[in-house]
Every structure is written in C-alpha cells, then in structure tokens.
Structure 1
Amino acid sequence: MSNLNIKAFVFDAYGTLFDVHSVIEKCNELFSDKGEEISQIWRQKQLEYSFLRQLMGTYTTFFVITQDALHYACKQVGVDLTGEKEKKLLDAYLELNHYEETGSVLEELKPYQKAIFSNGSLDMLSPLVEQSPFGHLLDEVLTVDEVKQFKPTPMSYQLVLEKLGVRREEVLFMSSNPWDIAGATNFGFYTAWINRQEKVMDELGVRPHFEYKDLNGILEHMS
C-alpha cells in the first residue's frame, strides 16, 4: 500500500486500456506486403499531426487527424486507399481489443472515481468503451475535444480536475505513452507509466512517479 491519497484513477485509452494491435492486423490484412510500414507511419503521423495542429492553432478532432494520417501513410508507401479500405481501417479503431487485466483492475478500483482521458474524440471513444466488457465500471469518458487542447498541454489536463472535482495530487494518471506521462507529471498529477513494451522514457526533464509493466501494479495505490 502506498501513502498517497488518490481519489481518482485516470487512464489514457490507446495503448493503456486498449491494444491498438488490431489496427496493425487490419493493415496487414488489406495491404499484405506493406501493412507493417503503413501502420507505423499512420501512428507516427497521428501523433505528429495532433502536436503540429496544437502548435499551429488549427484544432480538429482526433478522428479527422487519424483519417489524415492514414491518407498520408498510404501515399507515402504508394498504395491505393479505396473508400472501402479506409472505412475498414478506421472502423478497426472502434473495435480494439482490451488488455486482459483491464476489467479485473477496474473492478478492484470500484470504490474510487475512474475515468478515461484521451486525445480521442467521442465518436471514436464511445463505441470503443460500449463494446468493451468494462464500460459500466468507468465513471467518465473525458476527451480533449471539450477544451480543444491536445495532451500534453497543461490546459488539457485541467479538464480532469474540473470534471472529477479533485485536486492534482489526488489523481493517479496512467498512460503507456512517455510524452503523455511527461505532460501529466509536469501538470502535477501522480503518474504511473504502463510500460508494456519496455520503452525508454523520453528526456523531457520529468520522470514518472511509478512504472509498471501492466495495470496490476497500480492496485498498490488503493488506500
């Protein structure tokens, strides 16, 4: 047991609760020889475009960014993205598998506030949560769309405090993305980096408070 006074457990969605691997599988299925390359460029550009649009002041939803990044990836590798293939790939984001421990961890955390906080827009997050077996265990699904500020801006994380009615030091924020952990730590949340793929932490002058290989580790912060 830790001595933190955590009142809200807040989770990023992609890579933290849900495995984006099914998107990679769909890429491989539709573009067998170039699926891996497409999926890597797609994810890279998806993040890059959210950061660039934030800097440029040209906010649009994460769905549009995901679509634009897919178009770029297909042009870059020289494949023809038909309307049918585009729909199948974008639909894959609505049907992601969850990590196996997610449901049992959320069940354990029942006495606490639990929320998703994602750059994803509700048109992507709502179907995803509804098709999962643990949607009823979440109190809130929060999206940056409400403030039109992408993570990792401080203003985006402020939404969590307003919606959940907690202070920064009462939040434990989980993400598998080092840049998201850096942003949340910088904002003043306690952070747990869910480092599923044994990545190296970004050099941004902040470190996560905790690091675990999966979500089970966060249960030590139940008071």
Structure 2
Amino acid sequence: MTETLFAGKSLAVFDAYGTLFDVHAAVQRHAAAIGPEAGPLSETWRTKQLEYSWVYGLMGRYRSFWSLTEAALDVALTRHPGVDRALREALLDAYRDLDAYPEVPATLDALRERGLRTAILSNGDTAMLERAVASAGLGPRLDATLSVDPARTFKTSPAAYRIVCERFGVGPAAVLFCSSNRWDVAGAAAFGFATAWMNRKGAPDEYADLPPTIEIVTLDALLTRFSQP
C-alpha cells in the first residue's frame, strides 16, 4: 500500500496569519476610505510586521506580536502618506477580527472527522489569537491555539516549533505543519515536521534545501491526500 501524506500523523498544525486568516482583510474592509493605496499599504504593513518579528527574535528582545503589528502599521502609514492616519484604530480593530479563508472551517472539520487533532501555532500572542479564532468561529474546530509566547521568540526558532511537541506529547514525526509562509515551512521542515506549503499566489520556491512535503493552493487540497501519495 502506498504511504499517504498522513501516514503516522496524529496532529495537523496550522500557522494562523496568512494561512487560516486573510491578513489583507483588515485593509480591504476600509479600502474605499483608503483609496488607491489600499493594496500597497496592506503589503507594507505585512512585510514590516514579519521583518520586526525576525529582527527582534534574532536580537533576543521579545515583544508581543500585537505590539509589532501596531508598530508595523505606523511605518506603513508613514510610507503611504496619502492614507488618512485617522483610520489607524479602525484598521487595528479590523485586524483583531480577520476573515478566515472560505474553505478553512470545513477543512478543519473534515480533518477532525478523519481522526486528526488540529491546532494553531502562531507568532500571534494569546489575546489576539483567541479573538481571531472566536470571531471566525474556529474554536470548536481546534484542539489547541498555541502562541510562541512561552518560548519568548518567534518562528523560525526551533523553540517555537517545540511548543507543539511539548503541548501534545508527540515527536516531530507525528506532526503535519501547514503554512502559507515559505520561510515558516522551511523552519518547520528543519525542525522535523512534515510540511504543507499553501502557496495561494503561485510564488516561486525560495528554500530548495528545505522543500515542503507537498505544495497546495487552498487548504482543502489536504483532504485529497488521505488517499493519494
């Protein structure tokens, strides 16, 4: 019998922002008020948010992901002066309640029906994750929502991925980790997880030495891998 992606796996773990939740939904809700700079503003906000996590992680000076999200928005607003700064609080509030991608709830349900436990592992701090999960109605579909807070660092540090193993009492071989962020997939692969790269935009690969186990376009594509190698 040909081994499938989920052979030997008891746990499916997902990155949150960009994987389960659309990080650009906050800006899109206010796109009319923002005007033509909505797309560039959102891209700058996300890019700076991630850059901050890497820089502070490498310095060993941990800050909550929410504080980095606020700081990143301030930079984005400065770089896009045509956007009304009075929208700052509305944008932050929208980020607290990001939309989940349409296929996410049903996919999590289907994975659990097939006997897998499901969890989030995110750079997001606990409060922002709990609100995002609740607003999207994903709470009953997850066995755990895990923040990197206990490790006091961010992905791609091995200490961040180790949180999953410690919480569930499993080794890396029992875990399938899914992320839309190629750098996150590389970090998870280096730690020993099987990985799924959710490449919604068809981006080129960046880490040839740490390939994903599979590449998918939407989350529900995972479901076909119960019967396909």
Partner of 1:21: 24
Q: What amino acid does structure 2 have at the position aligned with 1:87?
A: E
Distance 1:146 1:221, change over 3 A: farther
Q: How do 1:63-142 residues align onto structure 2 when only pairs under 5 Å count?
A: 63-79=66-82, 82=85, 85-110=87-112, 111-142=115-146
CA contact (8 A) 2:24 2:42 kept: no
Report % sequence identity. 39
Distance 1:202 1:21 in 2: 22
CA deviation string 1:169-188 (max 9, x = no partner): 00000001100000000110
TM-score, normalised via structure 2 length: 0.90
Superposition misfits of 4+ residues, deviation over 3 angstroms:
79-82, 220-223
Alpha-carbon distance in 1 for matches of 2:40, 2:204: 22
Q: Distance in 2 between matches of 1:5 and 1:215?
A: 20
- Partner Cα distance (1:67, 1:149) in 2: 18
Name stretches of at least 5 consecutive residues in structure 1 with no aligned partner.
none
Q: CA deviation at 1:53?
A: 0.5
Counterpart amino acid of residue 68 in structure 1: A
Further displaced range: 107-116 or 189-198? 107-116
Gaps of 5+ in 2: none
For residues 56 and 30 of structure 1, what CA distance do their matches in structure 2 show?
37
* Local SS of the residue matching 2:63: coil
**Structure 2 counterpart of 1:180, which letter?**
D
Write the deviation string for residues 8-67 of structure 1: whole angstroms up to 9, x where unpaired: 000011121111231231453342132222111111100101000011121100000000
CA–CA separation in structure 1 for the residues paired with 2:168 and 2:89: 35
Which of 37, 52, 77 is the aligned partner of 1:34?
37
Matched residues, number: 222
1:193 — aligned with what?
197
Taking only aligned residues, the RMSD between alpha carbons, in angstroms, comes to 1.8
The amino acid that maps onto 1:211 is E
Select the residue among 150, 159, 164 that pairs with 1:155.
159
